[in-house]
Structure 1
Amino acid sequence: MHTNRCVRWALALSLTCTAAVAQAATVWVGRFPAGAAGLPEPWRVQQLDERIAPTQYALKTWDGVVAVEAVAERSMALLGRPIDIDLAATPHLCWLWRVDAPLATADMTTEAGDDYAARVYVSFKVAPEALGFGTRAKLALARSIYGDQVPDAALNYVWDNRQPVGTLMANAYTDRTRMIVLRSGAGDAGAWVMERRDVAEDFERAFGALPAQLSGIALASDTDNTGESARAGFAEFRFVSRDEACVAPDSATRRDDQASVGRSDE
């Protein structure tokens, strides 16, 4: 009897510890507070070019989801924050987003069309010895113009208007940023949709086996090149382990959160 009690106690302790580890695996980087007066720290608007009007960001409860609303009117600015994430432990990024509509005239293959109704931007620091002299020189020049917020490498997850879902290509302005199309066209517009991405896998597909550390995350709606208008929402950003589910709030319109997992076969 005593032995059975010990076994049951050990099993209960094991399950409790397992649950605690699973819960601790979630690293929240963008759960926005209801009723806040302004955008929460450490999120800040990052205006890359002061000659261009900045996209406007505000907190909003939208169909029951507390979110950042981005309104772009011929404008561009990121809303970003620094992060320090161990991608070996929590490589999957989950979030909710929505758009009123995709842009009409955007074309991600050209500088003149490099606009998106919504995008999520993750940036990386790369070990200097892994970057060639030419790359380091280009980055130094870019930082002399735009400041230290220019990353060594970045991934952009975008809601495009024409390219097929799964498209992976260099940004029209710089090959230090790689674009990955998660949604395309108006089929999912007008409702919250959940995304889940293996950031570590996406980075390796985009840049190879570079020694890099995830350093920042940003969101944006930008229309400075096309001169269009757009409105998007972003919420519930967190990094999770490979085994943990991404769950949308009950109030949000749910879509299959496996729809964009990995996409390494596309």
Structure 2
Amino acid sequence: MFRWIILFFSITVCLPVTAATNLTSLNEKGIDNWKPKIFSGESIYSIGEYKERLALKALSHNAASGLVLKQQIDLRATPYLNWSWLVEKTLPQLNERSKNGDDFVARVYVVIDGGFLVWNTKSLNYVWSSNQDKGLVWDNAFAGSSVKMMSVRGKKAQKGQWYQEKRNVYQDLIEVFGDKGSEKANRKAYQYIDIIAIMTDTDNSGKQAESYYGDIIFSAK
């Protein structure tokens, strides 16, 4: 399933972000700049009003596909990733740390492109976990330590309720992939991300999920 890490690199033109930027701009069709990537069946994404706000709706039934934006972001300038999400259908009785259970009702993730040095590629997935507690980090079942899963929301999160999230991606990368020992070394390793993606997937479990995403925004504060 995690073959998508390598396949994403040539999807769109890479442009720098230097100020607070709304990468989706749902009210202005900014999501049209995100490209679909289908892996196993197609999760359906559409924009509409839901519970008093404009949202990107994601429906998945035994499918795995996402929306991807390849755009370089300087995390020293805009380290904070802001988004909102809501889940209506979760995936009960699923071991998300296993290959058979590597499905998530909602995830927003970033990728550092290692280029030809594929082993330098890293991905941090902010996930809504149906079965894990909030605040946990683990290696992906398929990709190992190069892909980290972080349960921003866990099994006790309420269905049908909007949650607003804010993560310092630069600090998260240092914490989950390791401090390089100096600010200079950390900047070299983690200053830039190259890909941002959204995905609701249920291909391994064969189940159904229904989720909603608000705008994806990087900011300085």
**1:199 aligned partner:** 169
**2:66 aligned partner:** 78
Aligned counterpart for 2:132 among listed residues 163, 168, 179: 163
Write the letter of the residue equivalent to 2:131: R
The number of aligned residues is 194
| Alpha-carbon offset, residue 186 of structure 1 | 4.9
CA-to-partner distance for each residue in 1:90-121, whole Å, 9 max, x for gaps? 10100010100321132122100111111111
2:83 and 2:167 map into 1 onto residues whose CA distance is 9
Unaligned regions of 5+ residues in structure 2, if any?
1-17, 181-185
Q: Secondary structure at the match of 1:77?
A: strand
1:188 and 1:58 map into 2 onto residues whose CA distance is 23
**1:264 aligned partner:** none
2:74 and 2:22 map into 1 onto residues whose CA distance is 13
1:29 and 1:105 map into 2 onto residues whose CA distance is 34
| Alpha-carbon offset, residue 127 of structure 1 | 7.3
**2:22 aligned partner:** 28
**Bigger radius of gyration, 1 or 2?**
1
**Is the CA contact 1:31–1:235 (under 8 Å) kept in the aligned structure 2?**
no
Q: TM-score, normalised by structure 1?
A: 0.68
Q: TM-score, normalised by structure 2?
A: 0.81
Q: Secondary structure at the match of 1:202?
A: helix
| Alpha-carbon offset, residue 87 of structure 1 | 0.5
**1:8 aligned partner:** none
The runs of 4+ residues in structure 1 deviating greater than 4 Å are none
**1:220 aligned partner:** 199
**Is the CA contact 2:19–2:77 (under 8 Å) kept in the aligned structure 1?**
yes
**Is the CA contact 2:133–2:155 (under 8 Å) kept in the aligned structure 1?**
no
**Is the CA contact 1:106–1:116 (under 8 Å) kept in the aligned structure 2?**
no
2:32 and 2:150 map into 1 onto residues whose CA distance is 28
